[in-house]
Amino acid sequence: MAESHYDVAVIGAGPGGYAAAFQAADLGLRTALIDQEAQPGGVCLLRGCIPSKALLHAARVISEAEEAQAWGIQFEKPRIDLDTLRRRVRAIITKLTKGVQTLAGSRKVELIQARATFKNGTTLSLRSGGNSRELTFAHAILATGSRPVAPASLKIDDPRVMDSTGALDLPEIPGRLLVVGGGYIGLELGTVYQALGSEVTLVEALPRLLNGADADLVRPLHQRMEKRFKAIKLETKVDKLVPQKEGIAATLAGPDGSTSEVFDRVLVAVGRRPNTEELGLDTTKAALSSKGFVQVDRQLRTAEPTIFAIGDITGEPMLAHKSTHEGLAAARVISGKHASFDAAVIPAVVFTDPEIAWCGLTEEAAKASGQAVTVTKFPWLASGRATTLGRNDGLTKLVFDKESGRVLGVGICGVGAGELIAEGVLAVEMGAVAEDVAASIHPHPTLSETVMEAAESFHGQPTHLYTKR
C-alpha cells in the first residue's frame, strides 16, 4: 500500500479531531491527523476554551482579592502586567498543544500540517507552503470546526472592533468596552475585561442573557454583572459602528429608542458559523443543511459512505466535549465496531462568575412541551459550604419525571457549577431516580450537597430547608 494511503484521515486537529485520530490509532488503524495550523488543538486549545479559561481564572483572582475586604483582608488595587499575563496564557497553550503532539507521537498518529481539500470520496489534496500533494484514505473524518460570524453592520475593518480571537490576544485593556451579544463568549470575555479594569457595556438583542438556560439560573449572574458592568442593555441591537479618531461610535437601538455612544473597543460575539466552505465537499456526496452544517446520521456518516463528520460542523450545540464524543464514536464505527453517538445529554457550562451549567431537560423546555415534571430547587442560601465561601448567590435545581422520579435534567448556578454538573450528567445518563441521588452520601461541607438536597425535596424535605406544603 502506498505510503500516502491511510485507513483514516482526520481533517482538523481540535478536541474532536484529535480524539477521533487517537481512538482510530488505538483501534489499530493507520491514521493521519491533518491541520493547517502548526500546532494541534484547534480553536478550543489555541484561541477558545483554554485561553479564555486561563483569563477567567485571572479575573477570578482579582475579584476574590477585592471581595476579601469583607473578611478583613485588604489587598492593594491590582497592577496588571499585560505582557506577563499574555506570556502565561501562551505558556499554557504551548504546554497543552505539546501534550497533544506527544500523545499523537506515542500512538503513531501522523501529524500533517497542510490545508486539505477533497478531490473525491477517497482522495485529499494537501497544500502547504506552495507545495501540493495527494493523500488517499479508506475513511475520512471531517472536524474543521467553526469561526465567529458578524452581520454586515458590525463588520468594520478597524482593529478596535474585535471578535473572540482578537479579544483573547489582549491587545490592551480598553477604558470603555462594548460587548455585543449576551451569549457564552460575550459574558465570559466581558467578565475578563471588567475584572482587568474595563468599563463594560453589554448589549443583547433578546429580552434576556443566555437564552436557552432557565431564567432563574441566569438571574444570580445577571444581578452580579449588573453591579460590575457599566450597563447591561437587553432587547438592544447595534445598528451601526462608525470608526472615529477617539473611538468607535455605536448606535444602539433599544426599547427606549436609539442612542449613540463612543467606545474604545468593541467585542462582537453574536454566534459562530461552521467551516464547511472550500473543502471540496462538492466533489463528494456529502450534503450540507441550509445553515451550512454537514448532514450526518447517528453514526456520524455523511451521504458519502467513506466520509464522516463531527463537532461544530454537524450543528448545535457547538461544544468541544460534544465533538470529542462524536469523534470517538466515528472512529469506532470506522473500525467496524457497533457504535453511534447516542448521548442522552450534552452539558453546557458558561464559565462566568457565578458559573451556569445545565444538562438535559430544562424547566422551561418541559413547560413549553407540556411534559409532566416535578422541579425541585435548593437555593445556596441554605448551603453551609456556599456560606463559608461568601457565595450564597447560587441555585441548584433538578427536573424529574413526575411519575417515576427519574432525573431528566439538572441546572446549577454558582461558583464551581461547571464541575458540579458532571454529577447531573451521570445521573441522567445512568437513569438515576431521585432516591439514588438523595441516598448517595455527599461529602460535607461541599457544594455537591446542594444536588443531594435538591433530590431529597422530591420525596420530602431536605435537611437544610423547610418548605410549607
The residues that are catalytic are: 444
185 binds ligand NAD (CB under 6 A): yes
User: Binding residue for ligand NAD (CB under 6 A) from 205, 365, 422, 426?
Assistant: 205
Residues 151 to 170: which contact ligand NAD by CB under 6 A? 151
181 binds ligand NAD (CB under 6 A): yes
CB-based contacts of 459, cutoff 8 Å, min separation 6 = 405, 434, 435, 438
Distance CA 101, CA 438 (A): 43
Residues 269 to 298: which contact ligand NAD by CB under 6 A? 269-272
In the complex, residue closest to ligand NAD by CB: 183
* The residue type at 352: T
CB of 184 to ligand NAD, least distance (A): 4
User: Binding residue for ligand NAD (CB under 6 A) from 92, 103, 156, 206?
Assistant: 206
Please tell me whether residue 131 adopts helix, strand or coil conformation.
strand
User: Binding residue for ligand NAD (CB under 6 A) from 183, 190, 311, 347?
Assistant: 183
237 binds ligand NAD (CB under 6 A): yes
Distance CA 376, CA 20 (A): 38
Q: In terms of CB distance, is 105 or 317 closer to ligand NAD? A: 317
Cα–chain center distance at 173:
24
Q: In terms of CB distance, is 92 or 206 closer to ligand NAD? A: 206
Distance CA 137, CA 383 (A): 56
Cα–chain center distance at 88:
22
Grid cell 430547587 is found at: 377
Grid cell 467551516 is found at: 275
Q: In terms of CB distance, is 350 or 373 closer to ligand NAD? A: 350
317 binds ligand NAD (CB under 6 A): yes
CB of 149 to ligand NAD, least distance (A): 8
184 binds ligand NAD (CB under 6 A): yes
User: Binding residue for ligand NAD (CB under 6 A) from 24, 116, 124, 180?
Assistant: 180
Q: In terms of CB distance, is 47 or 385 closer to ligand NAD? A: 47
Residues 343 to 362: which contact ligand NAD by CB under 6 A? 349-351
Instruction: Determine contact, residues 209/223, Cβ cutoff 8 Å.
Output: no
Question: Nearest 5°: CA angle at 190, between 184 and 194?
Answer: 155
16 binds ligand NAD (CB under 6 A): no
Grid cell 431516580 is found at: 433
Q: Cell numbers at residue 392, please?
A: 450564597
Instruction: Determine contact, residues 42/173, Cβ cutoff 8 Å.
Output: no
CB of 138 to ligand NAD, least distance (A): 32
Instruction: Determine contact, residues 401/372, Cβ cutoff 8 Å.
Output: yes
User: Binding residue for ligand NAD (CB under 6 A) from 110, 188, 355, 423?
Assistant: 188
Residue 44's region, left for phi above 0, alpha for psi from -120 to 50, else beta, is alpha
Q: In terms of CB distance, is 201 or 284 closer to ligand NAD? A: 201
Instruction: Determine contact, residues 178/266, Cβ cutoff 8 Å.
Output: yes
Q: Cell numbers at residue 22, please?
A: 487517537
Q: Can you count the helices (H) and strands (E) in the chain?
A: 13, 22
Q: In terms of CB distance, is 40 or 183 closer to ligand NAD? A: 183
Kindly determine how many residues on this chain lie close enough to bind ligand NAD according to the rule CB under 6 A.
26
User: Binding residue for ligand NAD (CB under 6 A) from 33, 203, 294, 386?
Assistant: 203
Residues that bind ligand NAD (CB under 6 A): 151, 180-186, 188, 203-206, 211, 237-238, 269-272, 317-319, 349-351
